[in-house]
Chain A
């Protein structure tokens, strides 16, 4: 049973470019959440997707957008990249609103913006 998989593992982009990160949830999970983790800090919630819709959003600008596909996989898109977008981007999957649903994280995508 595959867990949460993210691709790519590492990515280097230039300021102003656009990037797409991908996440496949754990088998049987229907909800995908994205987090940004800057070096030395805890993760910050970006947004959550369920039934192909964004259900909740953290304090991130519109440059950050996402999508969920019918197979529950998800993409995170970041436009007009800034140096400050350099971070580890984590994806987590779960079952919708099951408060006893454990968390499953991917290994993350390390994005470096130069």
Chain B
């Protein structure tokens, strides 16, 4: 079992739909990141969370530390949101930290 599990693996939505991507992890973490990866490979950091909830435009990310679970929500989805969304957890102490990634969720938003 992977230390970071994402669901669903693939998601197809119609423009305007509300989208939720889930991430569960099994290790102790110092932070959780939501990342967006477009075809071609470049990765953009969307959020970094250690507790609670963050919002940026149409994107909302939440984390429940006790349940070791995070969700990424996209409101009023748009075809330009089509990308792979990756959850990554940061763990490790003062000797160095590392990221462990989920497998990613391929989102396709159709017009």
Contact = CB atoms under 8 A, between A and B. Distances in A.
Interface residues of B, number: 28
A74 interface: no
Interface range on chain A (Cβ under 8 Å from partner): 20 to 34
Contact of B42 (A50, A100, A105): A105
Interface of A: 33, 35, 37, 41-45, 48, 50, 55-56, 58, 88, 90, 92, 97, 99-100, 102-108, 110
Interface of B: 4, 30-31, 33, 35, 40-45, 48, 50, 86, 88, 90, 92, 94-104
19 contacts: A33-B98, A41-B103, A43-B86, A45-B100, A55-B96, A56-B92, A56-B98, A90-B43, A92-B43, A97-B94, A97-B96, A99-B31, A99-B50, A99-B97, A103-B33, A103-B43, A105-B35, A105-B45, A107-B41
Q: Which 7 A/B pairs are nearest by Cβ-Cβ distance? A: A42-B101, A55-B96, A56-B96, A105-B43, A108-B41, A107-B42, A103-B45
